[in-house]
Structure formats: C-alpha cells, structure tokens
Amino acid sequence: MIQKFEATFLILKKKINDINTSNKDKEETFQQLKELYLKNQDEKKDDYLKCLNTILNLYNKGTKDIQEQEKILDIMKEFYDFNNNEYVQEYIYALNSLAYSYNDIDNTNKVIEFREVSLSIVAKLYSLDASKWKSDYAYELGFLSFAYKKVDRVKDAIELQKKVISTREELYNEDSSQWLKIYCEDLYGLAILYKKIDNIDKAIELRERSIGLREKLYDEDSSKWEEVYKNDLYNLASICLKNKNYELSVKYFKVFFEMFDIDEIKSHDKINLLIYPFVKYYQATNLADESIKILDKYIDNQIKYLEEKFKNSYKEQLQAEYELYKNDDLSTEKVKIFENYFWECTEAFYLNFLVNQPYVK
C-alpha cells in the first residue's frame, strides 16, 4: 500500500510540475494530490507543500483564482511555525503570491494586508541573520512602500523606502555590479515620494545621487541607457529650474544638450523635443547670470537645420508649440525666449500670430 501510494504521488507530482500539462489538468491533478495526501498526511508533507507552491505559481501566472490561493494559504498557515523554522519560506511565498494576484486586480488594500504580514516575518528573519535575509528584506520593504504610495499613505511609504535605501546601499557596497541598477531606481523612487509632499530640496538631492548611478549604467552600456539617462537629466534640470536652483539646472541641461542629437527629430510635429528643453536651458543660464553666447550659436545651427528639413511645416508647427507656454509660471519670459530664437517668419504671419496671443506685447 505504501509503495503504491508513493508511486502514485510521484506520478501526480511530476504531472503537476510538467510545463506541458494544461492549467485545467494541473488543477484536477492538484485535487487528486490533495485527496491522496489527506489519506497519508505524515509521509508526504514536504512534497505536498512543494506541490502547493507549484500550484500557487500556476495561479499567479495564469488563472488568478484568488479563492483557491486563499485556501492554499490557509493550509500553509497551519504548517507554518516560525519558532521551529518550519515551512517559513513556503508561507512567505504563499502570502506574496496572493499579494501579486490582488495587485493584478487593483485591490491595493488586500495587497497591503498580505505584504504587511510577509514583511513582519522577513523582518524577524533579517534581525536573526542579516547577511542571509538582507536582499529579501529590501524587496519586502519596497513592495509594501509601493503599495502604501498607491493609497496615498506617502509618509508611511517614505519611511519604508528610507529603509530600502539603507539596506540596498549595503548590498551595493558589497557588489556594485549586481545592485547598481536597482539601487539607482530605489533612490529615484524615494525622490518621487519626497516630491509628492513638496520636499523638493530632498527630492533634488536624491535625484542627484540617482543620476550619478545612472551615468555609470550609461557608461557601461550607452545604447541601452541613453534615453533613460537623457530623460533623467532633463527632468532633474527642469525641477532645479522650477526650484530656482539655476546653477544646478544649467549643469544638467548642459549634459543633456551634449547628448542631444537633432537627427532624433524625425517629423515636424516633434520639434518640441528641441524647443522646450532649449527655452528652459536658456532661462536657467540667464537666471544663473552665465553667458548665453554659446547658446546663440548652438540654436542658430539647429534652427537652420530644421527649417531646411521641414520647410513650411516647421513654421506652421511653431504656432502650435506656443501653447506650451500659456500655463507656465514663467510664461512671459519663456514667450520672449521663444520669440527671440524660434519665430523668424514673414511680418504678416508674425502679426497674425501675435493677434491671437492677447497677453503678448
């Protein structure tokens, strides 16, 4: 009888782990496995729990049957014993599996419920053996921080994300190549959270740290990271300008334009890729009391290139781009920069343009 049980159990276990078995067959097999286990609970507990985790993985990637996942979690909870280190990782996996599934249906409160339990367990494990659980602890903190952010618990999210940064910084110092990308994202994520509570100085500080790491990623693989790095430079320069950190704004706009390639503008309706950053760059340079002569020469060459490339379509698009400045805090100044550098057309066309902009004198 025991031999027959073991043989049947192994067959069912193999079937449930077979990637070629359909989801429906796997679920039916799981039910058979469950019934077989209940008749022989003592012999096959470990294998049974491994199969439960396989089913959780199946649900998480496929059918998203949350009710079934919660039944499995209840089974895991019965076996879980932290003090005796029994089935701890299996229980954590079950909690996270349900959190993922609830996240997929945008039930963030349930996500938080399961993530909080999971973090509390991993935090205890981390306190007992930091070197072993450091990575898992950082991930758990990050997942819960993100969930808090989604329900506007921003201050709670910040406190957790600060712990993420502290933990990931240790991991980065231990192995920079493995943790460079994610540590960079961690810093950027905390900057976003500080921006949400209008602590712009702290957000800028964290973005500067993040962009220093992004530069390293770009140096390692420029083709992969060029666009992300440029976007980070532009966003940081813009935030600095708005926060009246003009020297910093100039610093990052300068790097941005050193990387800027005019050939990236493939159609006339994309000329704002040059116009809007340049207007901000000029504005920051002027407010920082730095020379604008080099900018004059640079933009003259770029405008001539675009005029030649797009002909009349270029000037027609300029009128549409003017709308970008209407709702900006520094719109009057931006309008003047726009007029001085980009608006070179016939007098009639120019006057017609101004007639429709009542606040321009």
The C-alpha atoms of residue 14 and residue 11 are separated, in whole angstroms, by 5
* Longest alpha-carbon distance in the chain: 99
Contacts 24+ apart (CB under 8 A), 259-266: 259/226, 259/229, 259/230, 259/233, 260/230, 262/302, 262/305, 262/306, 265/306, 265/309
Angle between helices 293-310 and 331-342 (to 10 degrees): 60
Class of residue 24 by CB neighbours under 10 A (exposed 0-12, middle 13-18, buried 19+): exposed
Could you say which residues of the chain have pLDDT below 70? 1-23, 26-27, 30, 33-34, 36-44, 58-64, 323-332, 343-361
Give the pLDDT of residue 354. Answer: 40
Give the pLDDT of residue 1. Answer: 39
The C-alpha atoms of residue 133 and residue 119 are separated, in whole angstroms, by 11
Give the pLDDT of residue 262. Answer: 94
pLDDT tens for residues 50-82? 777 777 776 666 555 788 788 888 888 888 888
pLDDT tens for residues 111-141? 999 999 999 999 999 999 999 999 999 999 9
CA atoms within 13 A on the CB side of 147: 24
Give the pLDDT of residue 7. Answer: 62
Give the pLDDT of residue 74. Answer: 87
Give the pLDDT of residue 201. Answer: 96
The C-alpha atoms of residue 241 and residue 288 are separated, in whole angstroms, by 10
